[in-house]
Structure 1
């Protein structure tokens, strides 16, 4: 399923919470700050804080844009796991400065944290292209 095909109404509040927690767990392993994570996923600091707590009964409603952002984070993580064998690169790559076109010396995490969907999608597209050695 592509990120564009996701409709928020197709997900229950508990499914939204599970997706959000999975994305935040990945972002945490990428060493994203709270502010970066909030910009990437377009969530409030209070939602970030509540999702980061371990109470299992917590639920949240998310809109289709937020669910697409979660999907892109999960897909970036999946692409990195296919490209790299070691956890240091899987989790370290997003915070490493990248001198390829588009990144221009910036880290993928910094590009994603700009907060707009285009930056997040283009980061995914560039990382996904690594699977086919298209760089």
Structure 2
């Protein structure tokens, strides 16, 4: 039996919109350009172009990059459900966390390692904070 993996094809405009949204969130989390590039697995030139207000600019992203964007957006959504205070919504990922997984590090430090497992596990733990609020 052969497994078939289906991938979602995203238009270049969807890629740009998702990338810019994720970068805006990462900015509010006070991620450096280098951290943002590692989290989203993008080049510095893609980062720079996405930050410009060029309405004509487009980019194609692969499934891994789009999944990373999705995790950033979903972490943000979970934090918005958990916290009413914008300082906590945007500051939580920069706060040292004593949870066993974080071991005194910030969620941003963990996801900025750049590997998908760290991003997923960080998302999973933050998502668990919301309980059954979806």
For normalisation by structure 1, the TM-score amounts to 0.91
**Stretches of 4+ aligned residues off by more than 2 angstroms:** 5-8
Q: 1:26 to 1:71 in 2, by over 3 A?
A: same
Residues 39-58 of structure 1: pairs in structure 2 closer than 5 A? 39-58=38-57
CA distance in 2, matches of 1:35, 1:128: 25
Q: Partner residue of 1:15?
A: 14
Shift of 1:6: 8.6
- Aligned pair 1:85/2:84, yes or no? yes
Q: 1:6 to 1:92 in 2, by over 3 A?
A: farther
For normalisation by structure 2, the TM-score amounts to 0.92
- Structure 2 portions without partners, runs of 5+: none
Q: 1:6 to 1:27 in 2, by over 3 A?
A: farther
Q: Partner residue of 1:36?
A: 35
How many positions carry a matched residue from both structures? 128
Contact residue 6 and residue 64 of structure 1 kept, 8 A = no
Determine which structure has more spread, i.e. the larger CA radius of gyration: 2
- Structure 1 portions without partners, runs of 5+: none
Shift of 1:96: 0.5
Q: Partner residue of 2:111?
A: 112
Shift of 1:44: 0.3
The structure with the greater share of residues assigned to helix is 1
Q: 1:17 to 1:53 in 2, by over 3 A?
A: same
CA distance in 2, matches of 1:55, 1:6: 32
- Aligned pair 1:95/2:94, yes or no? yes
